[in-house]
Structure 1
Amino acid sequence: MQFDQRSPVYLQVVRWFKEQIATEELKCGQEIPSRREIAAQLGINPNTAQKAYKEMEEQNLITTERNVPSKITMDQEIVKKVRTEMLDEAVAQFIEAVQAIQIPLGEVVTKVETVYQSTERRKVDA
């Protein structure tokens, strides 16, 4: 994982987990590494990992019980909300970039459809 200087590291860790949940790399109910393990894996301070896990607990992304490893939520509505949030964020960034170079909407839609379909075909062929 590459960290940037634009946002706090703990929020970048939360975002990484959200991406893993949205793409189903992390499945509902799956155990995740302990705070110390994730800190070691990512090369971050254990307090930063603790802060990230606390944030994820507050957002109900993970559940934690005493003496049991933390797990990804089983709540499908939360998973759906994460996917929607990630999509909304990506679309907003894309639109901002396209508007900055003043490309007409019709041209953008055509290009998105073409590239999306091409990418899908490559996945099937792989």
Structure 2
Amino acid sequence: MNQSIWERRQAVASRLEGQVKAERVVRDEFAGALAAASLDPAHVDPDGHLGRAVAAVAHLAAGEPGYDLVLSLPTGVHGARVHADADGRVTVGVVPLGPTPPEPRPEAQPEPGDQPTAVASELAALLWRR
């Protein structure tokens, strides 16, 4: 358990290299997803803020299987989806954003007291049977 300073320094350096490598992979995957969707990165992410946010969220998602989040800029038409599979593999994709269609309203079922003619006919049928 007695590690030298050099061994600890090497362990920290290898962890940092792994983090940099993972961030590079996520940024490349985000750029690839933009290219696959035929989108211009300068149009979707003009300042690079979305790409940095995706990389940061990907670090969080890597430690939590089932993580699923869509990030976008306030004025953006497209967003980035960060998803972690059950095995911890993080995938990044581009999703279109837009107004969600309104959910269909369920048709109102008439209450028994709302239709007096139906109630009256049911009562008449019951009385007629007697």
Same fold (TM over 0.5): no
Higher relative contact order, chain-length normalized (CA < 8 Å, sep 6+): 1
Higher strand share: 2
Using structure 1 for the length normalisation, give the TM-score: 0.29
| Structure whose alpha-carbon radius of gyration is higher | 2
Q: Which TM-score applies when normalising by structure 2?
A: 0.29
Larger helix fraction of residues: 1
